[in-house]
Amino acid sequence: MGFNNWNSTHCRDEFNEDMIRGVADKLISSGLRDAGYRHINLDDCWADWKRDKNGNLQPNLKRFPHGIKALADYVHERGFAFGLYSSAGTNTCEPHQANRGFPGGLGHEKQDAAYFASVGADYLKYDNCNNQKVPAKERYKAMGEALRATGKPIFYSLCEWGENKAWLWATDPAVGASSWRTTGDISDNYASMLKIFKENVVLDAYAGPGHWNDPDMLEVGNGGMTDVEYRSHFSLWSIMAAPLLIGTDLRKIKPDALEILLNKEVIAVDQDPLGVQGKRVRDTNGVHVIVKPLKDGSRAVAVFNEADAAQDVAVSAKELGLQASAKYRMRDLWKHSDAQGDGSIKLRLEPHATVMYRISAQ
């Protein structure tokens, strides 16, 4: 859980050290840090377009005049982990000089890993651009080995877009990935969010503690979806045990979007220590039912209506894996209210809406 600047800034000039410091301060003052958002990650365009005379990465001093180490120290002093970005290719994804990206890590893995460790990085997002058609596992294995050789624990996030089905090989100890992208990039619209949900939800068998499916960062607060759609976005990512990386500029966030991101009951489903990704048990007529077992023996349930019209939905206790004759506490995680019931769910679900329950035995 944390923040990444890309969805709100891309490579624009507003991405700089003042922004990142301001975001760190807002994470604290808004209560987001206390809710569990503890990573602050820089995306593409943090580096200078060329390496230094010794071949080392160096920051863009226009954006980061005090350097990356000073920014990492600021972040660490406020109780956050600090993340950086690179690509498993010759250059990163954002075009710059001669229509190429900034320096990538291909062929520089040991040197770059040492740099990441030296400035205090705790997280590396490693992209897939300009990869020279070198096999994906070979490229990501090289950086994984280099990161481990530094002796510093660094969360290793593979960003290869699902192109090479990283979920099949990323947990190989030689690669050592902590998470891997399962999809292409998200955009701030309902169609994109829906497409990515459908691609990721079927991969539940590959996720678990220490190795996570990553359907990309959150768009909540960026303005391209309704509040109903953003609540569905947040609910679905949470029941899929996805990383929750805020992608909006928190210095400008509106209260309704902040309220979504601060829903601690939904966050608790995402962060449940059992570490199971929810399993979809129904996909019929635009209605999806996803069930996630939780550490305390209860179940989280999300019921999502992808359709453009409201639907009457009935879900039986049996469909949720519950005993029909038992009595249950039904906790609505968005209304923050309790009801008693037999474990079944009956409701009218509005277009693009998701309801989320925590169901526990009485």
Residue 57 is classified by DSSP as -
For residues 354 and 308, membership in a common domain is answered with: yes
For residues 154 and 240, membership in a common domain is answered with: yes
Taking only the tens place, the pLDDT of each residue in 298-357 is 999 999 999 999 999 999 999 999 998 899 999 999 999 999 999 999 999 999 999 999
**What pLDDT is stored for residue 101 in this prediction?**
86
> Rounded to two decimals, what is the model's pTM?
0.97
Taking only the tens place, the pLDDT of each residue in 74-97 is 999 999 999 999 999 999 999 877
For residues 15 and 111, membership in a common domain is answered with: yes
Beta strands in the chain (DSSP E): 2-4, 39-41, 81-87, 123-127, 155-158, 179-181, 212-214, 245-246, 279-284, 287-293, 299-305, 311-315, 328-332, 337-341, 345-349, 354-361
For residues 254 and 311, membership in a common domain is answered with: no
How far is 122 from 155, CA to CA, in rounded Å? 6
For residues 157 and 296, membership in a common domain is answered with: no
Residue numbers of the domain that contains 352? 279-361
How many Cβ atoms sit within 10 Å of the Cβ of residue 52?
A: 9
**What pLDDT is stored for residue 285 in this prediction?**
97
**What pLDDT is stored for residue 324 in this prediction?**
80
Using CB atoms within 10 A of its CB, is residue 97 exposed (0-12), middle (13-18) or buried (19+)? exposed
For residues 55 and 123, membership in a common domain is answered with: yes
For residues 303 and 260, membership in a common domain is answered with: no
- The count of residues in the chain is 362
For residues 191 and 338, membership in a common domain is answered with: no
**What pLDDT is stored for residue 280 in this prediction?**
98
How many Cβ atoms sit within 10 Å of the Cβ of residue 263?
A: 19
User: Residues with catalytic annotation?
Assistant: 127, 185
| Total domains in the fold of the chain | 2
The closest alpha carbon to 144, from 165, 162, 161, 169, belongs to 169
β-bridge pairing 299-305 and 287-293: antiparallel
Half-sphere exposure of 289 (CA within 13 A, CB side): 17
Token duo for residue 25:
């301060």
How far is 3 from 227, CA to CA, in rounded Å? 20
Residues of the chain with pLDDT under 70: none
How far is 35 from 261, CA to CA, in rounded Å? 9
